[in-house]
Chains A and B, each alone.
Chain A
Amino acid sequence: MEETAGERCEPEIAQEKVEVLEKKNEETVELPSSNDSAIDHEINNLTDELGPNLNLAEHEEEIYWQTAEWKSKKHVFVLSSAGKPIYSRHGNEDDLVALFGVMQAIVSVVLDSDDELQSIHTSNTHFTFLRKGNIYLVSVSSIPLETAPITKLQLTYVYNQILSILTLTQLTRIFDQYNNFDLRRLLSGSERLINNLVDFTETDPAFFFNAVECLPLASSARDVVIQAITSSCQKIKNLLFAILLAGNQLVVLIRMKKYNLLPSDLHLILNLVSSSQSFRTAEGWTPICLPDFDASGYMQAHVSYLTEECQTCLLLLTIDRELFFTLSEAKQKIVEKLQKSNVFEQINESIQKPKILASEFGISRLRHFVYKNKNTNQFVYPKYEVPYLLPESQNSLLHLYSQLYQQVNSSQRPLKVIFQQLKTEAVLGWDTKGFELYLIFEPFVTKSEAINAVNKLLKCMKKEEDRLFISNSATF
C-alpha cells in the first residue's frame, strides 16, 4: 500500500515519505484519503514498534523497546478498551503507553466497522488479538511455529488469571462505572502471577494437553490420604474441593458431589501455589476465582504445606469466608492422621524418584509419548530423553504435540487416528473413548511397528493405571 501511494505522489512527497518512515512518532504524512489509510498507518506504527526492522529514530539513543533483542522476544500485552495499559510481559507499561494507544486504535477501528480483528501477520511478526469485554489482549511473536488457536488459548489463560484475581463481576462493574479506570491499581503485586502463567503456557505440556499430571503413587497410599482428608472434613459444610499437590503434580483431588474442576481452573491453582513462596512458611487464606467453575465470584482457599518433611501443598476450597479456623483445625487433624501412617515416606519416595522414561518400556524406535485419560483429564508425560535434551528440541517437541493434539481435537474435522512421517520424527495420534495416545518415533518407523508399539504401550499403561492416575470419584 505504501508503494502505490508513493508512486502516485510527486517526487518530493515520495522523498518526504522515506524520511517519515525513518522518523518515529512523527508520522504525519499526506496519503490519499481512504478509510484504510488510517489502519495501514497504525499497522505501520505497530510494526515499527515491534517489527523485525530496527528503526531507530535519529534523535533517540538506544531505548530498550527498540532493540533487536526486544523485538525477538515473545510479548503479551493487556490493555483496557480505553487503551490504558494493564500488563506487559516485558518492559515497563509506563514506557509503552503510546504503543498501547496504537493497539487500542487498531482494535477499535475494526470494531467501528462491526468487525473484529483476529490477527495480523507480517513476514516476521505475528500479532494475535483477543477481546474480552473491556479487556483487550495482544500477543506479538516472531516465532513462526506459533499457531493461532494456541496463542488465543494462551491469551484466554491470561484473561482468566485476571478474572481469578478480580472476578468477572468486579471487572464488569469497574468498567461499567469508570471506563477510564487504570486496572493496574487493582492488579499491582499480581504481575508475577501473570508472568508465571505465561511461562507455564509456553513450557508446560499440561497446558497443551488440557490436563494435569498425577504423582505416581500406590492406590492404597492414595486411599489413606483420601480417607484422612474426608474423615477430617466430614462435618464441614460448604467445602467444595480438597487438593493435595506435590509440585505441579496432583496427589489427590476430593470434591463435593455434583461439582468438578476443569484442568484450566486447576492450572490457575497450580500457578497460584508455584508463584507464592509465602505458603511454605505460613498458612494462607486467600480469595480465588476459578473462571471456568464460576467467573462471577470468589471461593476462599486455605493453602498450606503439610509438613516440613513432606513438601506437599494442601488446598481446601470453600465458599464460606468464615471458615479459616475450621479448615486450619481440619488441616492439623489431616497431618496427625497421615503421620500415623507411612504415607509421607511413600509420597517423598515418589517425589524423589525420577520421572517415568519412554525408554523403560523397551519399545524400539519410540522416543516419547503422551497418554491422556479423557475421563479424568490426567496425563502421563515421560521425562525428556535423547534427542530432546536441549530446550530448543523440547520446544519443538511440544509444538509437534500441540499440532497433533489440535488435529485430533479439531472442532471442524477431528481425526480418530493419525500417522505422519515427518522430517525428523514419525508421529502417531489415536483418540478413543477413554483415552488419547500420542507417540513420537524415529522417522523411519513403519506403520506396523508403530501399531505394535501402541499395543505394547497400552498394556503397560493398563498395568500401571492405578499408580499413575487418580480415579476422580473421591467425594466428601
Chain B
Amino acid sequence: MATKKKGLLKVIILGDTGVGKTSLMNQFVNRKFSGQYKATIGADFLTKEIMVDDRVVTMQIWDTAGQERFQSLGVAFYRGADCCVLVFDVTLPNTFKSLDSWRDEFLVQACPRDPENFPFVVLGNKIDLGNAAVPSKRAERWCQSKNNIPYFETSAKDATNVEQAFQAIAKNALAQESEQDLYNEFPDQIKLTGDSNRFNNNDAGCSC
C-alpha cells in the first residue's frame, strides 16, 4: 500500500577517518569539494531531496566521526536507520579491511529487524588519485559475500559516481519501506473492566 507521499530516509555514513565521508556528502548535497581536512566531531547532518521513480524523497544524512575519539554517539544514534553507507579509501587497504568491523558495529548497535537484508552500500572513494591499492574485484568479492551489497567507486573530488551511488542508496532503502505493512490489523477497541481505579483517579492528588 505504498502511498504517493513524500518519503524520508535516514542514511548513516560510516568508515575510517579521512576516507572522505564528509567530502562525499558535501559533493552530493552542495556539489562542492574542499581539499582541506577537518575532522567531524560526533556527527553532522545534511539534507537532500532527490527523485526516485517519480517519488520525492528527503534524505536525512548522518555523517559520522571516523576518528574514534570523536565517536561519542552510541546506540541511540544508529537507531532507525534506513540505509548504511560504508566508505573506504581505495588507496588505503586498511580502510577497506575495516569495513567488516564497521558493518558489524552497525548491525550490533542498530539491531535492524532483518540484518541479513538490511540495505548497505559500499563506496570506494578517491579513485581520482589513480593509485588504487584495493582492486575493484577484491571489493566486489567482499560485497558479494555480504549478501550482494552494491559497490560504487567514487570520487568526491570530481563527483564521479556520487549521484549514482546515492540514487542506489535511496532505492535500496525505499524497497524496504514498502514492506512496512500496517493496514491489515483492525484498530484496538478498549474493553471495560469495571475497574474503578479509572474513577476519579485525579483525586489521588488531593485529599478529598
Contacts and interface: CB of A to CB of B under 8 A. Distances in A.
Nearest to A294: B190
A297 B202 CA distance: 20
Interface stretch (B96-104, B120-128, B141-149, B180-188): B180-188
B77 interface: yes
Contacts of A80: 80
B72 A109 contact: yes
A259 B199 contact: yes
Q: How large is the interface on B (under 10, 10 to 19, 20 to 34, 35 or more residues)?
A: 35 or more
B74 interface: yes
Given A174-B182, A293-B198, A299 B72 contact: no
Contacts of B72: 35, 37-39, 109
Interface string A188-210: 10000000000000000000001
Interface residues of A, number: 76
Interface stretch (A97-105, A343-351, A441-449, A461-469): A97-105
Interface stretch (A145-153, A177-185, A398-406): A177-185
Contacts, number: 179
- Which of B5, B7, B39, B77 has the most chain A CB atoms closer than 10 A to its own CB? B77
Interface in B1-49: 3, 5-8, 10, 22, 26, 38-47, 49
B17 to A, nearest CB: 12
B10 A167 contact: no
A94 B43 CA distance: 19
A35 B42 CA distance: 9
Contact of B47 (A97, A180, A434): A97
Contacts of B208: 374-375, 433-434
Interface in B145-193: 177, 180, 182, 187-192
B69 A258 contact: no
Interface stretch (A21-29, A217-225, A383-391, A419-427): A21-29
A240 B193 CA distance: 12
Nearest to A255: B199
Nearest to A85: B8
A180 B62 CA distance: 14
A260 interface: yes
A298 interface: yes
A27 B70 CA distance: 13
- Which of B40, B47, B191 has the most chain A CB atoms closer than 10 A to its own CB? B47
Given A94-B49, A170-B187, A298-B189, 16 more contacts: A28-B40, A38-B70, A41-B42, A82-B80, A94-B8, A97-B60, A98-B60, A101-B45, A105-B77, A112-B76, A179-B80, A180-B80, A240-B192, A259-B192, A297-B187, A375-B208
Interface of B: 3, 5-8, 10, 22, 26, 38-47, 49, 58, 60, 62, 65, 69-70, 72-77, 79-82, 113, 177, 180, 182, 187-192, 194, 196, 198-202, 205-208
